[in-house]
Amino acid sequence: MTRPPTAGCSPGYGTDVHIHVASCYSLRYGVAPPAALAERAAGLGMETLALTDRDGLYGAVRHVMACADAGIGAVVGADLRVVSTGEERVVVLAEGRAGWRSLCRLVSAAHAAGGRGNPVVTREMVGAHAAGLIVLLGPASDVGRAVAGRRPGVAAARLDAWRATAETAVEIVNHHGRGEGPRAARMLALARAAGVPAVLGNAVRYLEPADHPVAQVLDVTRKLVPLDRRHLDDQTGHAYLKSVPQMYRAAELACGPDEAAALLAATRRLSERCVLDPGRDLGMDDVHLPAAGDDPYARLVARCADGMARRGLGGSARAAGRLDAELGVIARKGLASYFLTVADAAALIRERGIRCAIRGSGAGSLVNYLIGIGDLDPLRHDLLMERFLADSREGLPDIDLDVESARRLEAYQALFDRFGAESTACVSMMETYRARSALRDVGNALGLPPAEIDAIAKAFPRIRASQIRTALDDLPELRQSNLAAGRLEVLFRIAERLDGLPRHIAMHPCGVLLSNPTLRDRTPIEQAAVGFPMSQFDKDDVEAMGLLKLDVLGVRMQSAMAHAVAEAARVSGERIVLEDVPRDDPATFALIRTSRTLGCFQIESPGQRDLIGRLQPRDLDDLVIDISLFRPGPVNSDMVSPFLEARAGTREPAYPHPDLEPALRESLGVVVFHEQVLRVIDVMTGCGLSRAEAARRSLGGERGQAVVGAWFRERALARGYDTATVDGVWRMLTAFGAFGFCKAHAASFALPTYQSAWLKRHHPAAFYAGVLTHDPGMYPKRVILDDARHFGVPILPLDVNRSAADWHAEPVSAGGPAGIRVSLSEVKGISETEVGKIVEARPYASLGDFWRRARVSRPTAERLVLAGAFDAVHDRVPRRDLLCRVGALDRATARTAPVEGQLALADDAGLELDLAEEIPAGELPPMTPAEVVEAELDILGMDVSRHVLTFYAGLLAALGVVRAADLPGRPAGSEVLVAGVKVATQTPAVRSGQRVIFATLDDATGPVDLTFFESVQDRCAATVFGSWLLVARGRVRHAGDSAVSITANACWDLNVLHEEWRRGGPDALRVALRGAAPRGRPVGRRIIQPTGFAMSPYSDIGHAGPAVKRPPRAALWHASPGSSGS
């Protein structure tokens, strides 16, 4: 009898037993990431590992790279659903380059055939792409189902059909469930009788048995059913990555020892055939660019020569030398086609009238400036090419384009039209489980009530799922929530296990692939939600595959400025070209220095307004520094205060060494930019800027720091620098680390920052119309609306005859300032179609006229009435009466609607509607001002007619609240009470490593910025995150001439105080103000980065999401990812 293999894995039996494996990229099915699977397989002594994810190749590139890192061969396939009445599936493996090409095409065809989210294949589709493919028929196949149902004739016929379609093998699986052993034996017998190879598999979906419960939760979340045994795909816990002896044992129990050994050997033979070479088979060693015609380098040189003349640089020796250097790098790296392609893309976008600007390190390239990709002169701003493109850099450089967000998809379409569908696709991204999504899915699986699930999920900040139970203990607002009750322990424990697992695929917000016509041989394609073809590979995958990813970012501020320019032209006839606006306008910089920069690009956050107040920018270069200073690198390296002190003249600029003064002069001795890091390294080591850029890139990791540190010290000491200087400079560089900011990026941001401020200063109504239409900033619209009031811009109410789909500027009186008219699109629940109908059919003479011709839904008509859209049409009819008329009109319409098959009596219908409108005004009282504002908040999301805080005037007077407009006159350190509507909360990373909560209130006279340190959060955090109207006590802090903030030590819910005051008067109010909770323990926990940078694990680390808890409409305040309770 054949002896079973031992842990040493005799070559006769094979070590390659896992030919059917699902990773976490089998969405809501697999559990383990590809890297973990490859590492485990290598640790078990296996020489190859397959990845056969469900419905796609989402994890294939990561799998190939992980296997290379682990020293084992990578096999790639896909587990695809076959058209049938059930859930029958086959596994398809790729052999060689032809197999990879066929697999990509087949997966694309599956997604096209089944429609979005429902990929499916037929036998005929597999046959059409059979070159280089091998089909595995396992228990889930139609053959396996027939075998399980004891229909041998049907099973044999189906097997013959698959054999006629493509190369086929039968997969033997035994998970030790009821009947699985005998079924595996019958499958093997069928294969032997038909002369078809049989291989051993385990249909792996997790790494080890302990992951089985996670897989079960994924099953029910995928199927949208409760957690119950009858809904589980895997009930035995054996679908893990087993060792060879374990696999042999499973096969032996089902088929006997001799057959088990034969299955292992056959599996190894098939695995070895299907191992893919990353370079030869996947094309990872090459760059796949669009065709650029003959001699692209000569074309690039010619275009640069034209650009030198056009930009007025023809006589500049400095420009000529810089151009030669850049073209030399481009030639050596073979990237001429890349630059020509991006230049064509930028030109195509601009030809459609879409604003387009370069961002990022690409702005530092003179070539980009000369061929029209960007409009920022890198020589004028002293930008370095090496930060963007250097001989030491691997892969393609990044050129990012900012376009109008409202026209981003139009820009995409221009690229698809130019380069062709076979050569173009969007890049994808994986949305992964974080705390809130994990709690929702697991809560549903456990059968918790939806309202409770919603409350639990929203209580947490936007943190990783793995932090759930830690956060319950760390965060004061959660400690006070009673969420740590034992009955929720199972929910929290399972939700944490989902951390980081992919949940669903989405289109990357900016990445577009531009390639040659072989693109679809290199990546599978599926349709994105917006209809564009989308690669199944993410941004890292496409870079590894040598594909050109052009980032076309939709920037709301670009749309806002385009809208403002159009509004200025429409209202005043002035034609503004923002690129031609003088960049040294004193009035614009005077506005910026006041810190009244709400709505302006990059400089509207509380921290930025504080920094602007201290820095007092005088020109565009100051804006570049400001944008760069407001980053973790300068903050962590303690460079902000020294810079501001040197700028204010309170200390002399200090340079670590005289040799470094040229590199650091513009920032007065401190490191602000990445480019300065390069220059410092170059000066100290003599390595050149290209090698310095490679060193800078390594500073973000602990291992990289150690290697670069040793190299830096050796080279710097050898050049004669003393140990103290070398150590001091190295500390400065490591503190700055990889967290700094690229000057080219800051310079590309500074221009739209200035342009937005220029529009606010010179065309305020048009500016606010653009900002309110396109919502580019961090603040809710009601704050922008209030800021417009402060700037003297009249707010014009919603009007069915005058409001448009967008906000627009509108003259109020001859010679007076223009106002801004509320947009119809702000009405809750209104559709684009309804807005279009309203605009198209007006003007309207009455509500009945509107009802007959606009033909909107009753809820929309009622909301328009309540929001005041008919006040100008019916100036003497109260809104309550108009609301009744909507009901009468709706009932009349229902009575006169024709019965199916019967003609409508038009005259009778019109008479009925006329009668409905002529209902006399009743005795319903007009809406009170408070009711009007409540309706506005509910329907429009903003208080248009008056500020909501006006209804608390008596209480605020009793409290002695200091208004925002009066805070600059209060001395620093004085204690004040402030109050307002919460408009933003943030928890950014700060130098101390604390979790600091920054909140902004709007009190009708301006913004009030509050800072809550850890020492007061135990008594304040729950109120800050859980309330909409706040009162806070704290001490005044001045920043510059005009910026003021409050260091808060207590806060209260304004509504609670109002109720206490209403019931008990001043005495009750005094008691309530004394009743702040005692101080508790701070958060305390810290994350220490390799650079030494400490930060709270609850700091904001991503884009802010939507926000709101209790007020009438969503998005009434901005809540950053680190904010709880919204």
Which two three-digit tokens encode residue 29? 């099915």
Contact between 423 and 516 under an 8 Å Cβ cutoff? The reply is: yes
Q: Same structural domain for residues 235 and 354? A: no
Confidence at residue 902, expressed as pLDDT on a 0 to 100 scale? 47
670 occurs within a structural domain = no
Q: End of a domain among 274, 308, 340?
A: 274
Instruction: Please give the biggest Cα pair distance in the chain.
Output: 104
Confidence at residue 115, expressed as pLDDT on a 0 to 100 scale? 87
Total domains present in the chain: 5
Q: pTM surpassing 0.85?
A: yes
Give φ, ψ of 689 to 5 degrees.
-70, -30
* Element housing 981 (H / E): strand 975-986
CB-based contacts of 747: which residues, under 8 Å, 6+ apart? Answer: 363, 376, 381, 383, 624
Which two three-digit tokens encode residue 886? 């909507």
Residue 471's domain is classified under what CATH number? 1.10.10.1600
Q: How far is Cα 708 from Cα 394, in angstroms, rounded to an integer?
A: 18
Q: End of a domain among 877, 904, 939?
A: 939
Q: Same structural domain for residues 975 and 853? A: no
Confidence at residue 484, expressed as pLDDT on a 0 to 100 scale? 63
Place of tokens 């481009």: 330
Q: Same structural domain for residues 928 and 957? A: no
**How is 1041-1091 classified by DSSP, letter by letter?**
TTEEEEEEEEEEEHHHHHHHHHHHHHHHHHHHHH-PPPP-------EE-TT
Q: How far is Cα 690 from Cα 681, in angstroms, rounded to an integer?
A: 10
Q: How far is Cα 362 from Cα 358, in angstroms, rounded to an integer?
A: 7
Which two three-digit tokens encode residue 499? 């951390």
Q: How far is Cα 65 from Cα 596, in angstroms, rounded to an integer?
A: 51
524 occurs within a structural domain = no
Give φ, ψ of 582 to 5 degrees.
-55, 135
Q: Same structural domain for residues 219 and 331? A: no
Q: Same structural domain for residues 226 and 180? A: yes
Q: Same structural domain for residues 340 and 376? A: yes
Q: Same structural domain for residues 65 and 170? A: yes
SS3 call for 105: helix
Contact between 571 and 565 under an 8 Å Cβ cutoff? The reply is: no
**HEC secondary structure over 964-976:** HHHHHHCCCCCEE
Which two three-digit tokens encode residue 906? 């038009």
CB-based contacts of 215: which residues, under 8 Å, 6+ apart? Answer: 29, 30, 31, 205, 206, 233, 234, 239
231 occurs within a structural domain = yes
Domain span holding position 812: 804-939
Which two three-digit tokens encode residue 1056? 């609670």
SS3 call for 998: strand
- Residues of the chain predicted below pLDDT 70: 1-14, 85, 230-231, 484-485, 632-633, 635-638, 737-739, 896-923, 991, 1040-1041, 1075-1126
Within 10 angstroms of residue 1126's Cβ, the number of other Cβ atoms is 24
Confidence at residue 703, expressed as pLDDT on a 0 to 100 scale? 84
Q: Same structural domain for residues 144 and 244? A: yes
Q: Same structural domain for residues 871 and 963? A: no
- How many Cα atoms are found within 13 Å in the side-chain-facing hemisphere of 528? 23
Residue 1110's domain is classified under what CATH number? 2.40.50.140
Contact between 863 and 830 under an 8 Å Cβ cutoff? The reply is: yes
Q: Same structural domain for residues 77 and 225? A: yes
630 occurs within a structural domain = no
Q: How far is Cα 640 from Cα 77, in angstroms, rounded to an integer?
A: 53
Q: How far is Cα 213 from Cα 240, in angstroms, rounded to an integer?
A: 12
Q: How far is CA 571 from CA 352, 565, 566, 804, in A?
A: 23, 10, 9, 14
728 occurs within a structural domain = no
Confidence at residue 482, expressed as pLDDT on a 0 to 100 scale? 72
438 occurs within a structural domain = yes
Distance from first CA to last CA of the chain, Å, rounded?
Answer: 67
Nearest to 82 by CA among 54, 60, 103: 54
Q: Same structural domain for residues 243 and 132? A: yes
10 occurs within a structural domain = no
Q: Same structural domain for residues 324 and 219? A: no
Q: Is 717 exposed, middle or buried (0-12, 13-18, 19+ CB in 10 A)?
A: middle
Confidence at residue 321, expressed as pLDDT on a 0 to 100 scale? 96
Which two three-digit tokens encode residue 242? 């087993």
Handedness of CA 103, 109, 114, 120 (dihedral sign): negative
Place of tokens 């690198």: 633
Q: Residue-wise over 304-338: b if at least 16 C-beta within 10 A, else e?
A: beebbeebebeeeeebeebbeebbebbeebebbbb
751 occurs within a structural domain = no
Confidence at residue 800, expressed as pLDDT on a 0 to 100 scale? 98
